[in-house]
Amino acid sequence: SQQGEEDPQALSIQEGENATMNCSYKTSINNLQWYRQNSGRGLVHLILIRSNEREKHSGRLRVTLDTSKKSSSLLITASRAADTASYFCATDKIGAQKLVFGQGTRLTINP
């Protein structure tokens, strides 16, 4: 079963706008990661945030983590058409080297 839940399930915005996706999980975690997937292809790693971190930036990406609420958000600023993809959060636990994925958010950037 999936641990994470993401919302919204689908998001459509205009190019240049910011996109925010949210992820919730159920149990304690070690790290939380975000991946991008284009058209049913392989997953591309975007950013990782440790459980003791609250915010992390990478280029146009900003990730926040609230372990008290068991939730994370991914913000993509100044969106581009090339950002159109599905985005997944994934968590891992200490001592368990496997990832548990959410169901993903389908992001569409309209030109």
Partner 1 sequence: DAGVTQSPTHLIKTRGQQVTLRCSPKSGHDTVSWYQQALGQGPQFIFQYYEEEERQRGNFPDRFSGHQFPNYSSELNVNALLLGDSALYLCASSLVGTDPYEQYFGPGTRLTVT
Residues that bind partner 1 (CB under 8 A): 1-2, 4, 30-31, 33, 35, 40-45, 48, 50, 88, 90, 92, 96-104
Which CB sits closer to partner 1, 44 or 78?
44
Which CB sits closer to partner 1, 35 or 83?
35
Distance in Å, CB of 56 to partner 1, minimum: 11
Distance in Å, CB of 78 to partner 1, minimum: 26
DSSP per residue, 77-97:
-S--GGG-EEEEEEEEETTEE
Q: Is 3 helix (H, G, I), strand (E, B) or coil?
A: coil
Which CB sits closer to partner 1, 48 or 77?
48
CA 66, CA 43: separation in Å to the nearest integer? 24
Q: Collect all residues with Cβ–Cβ distance below 8 Å to 44 and sequence separation of at least 6.
A: 35, 36, 37, 38
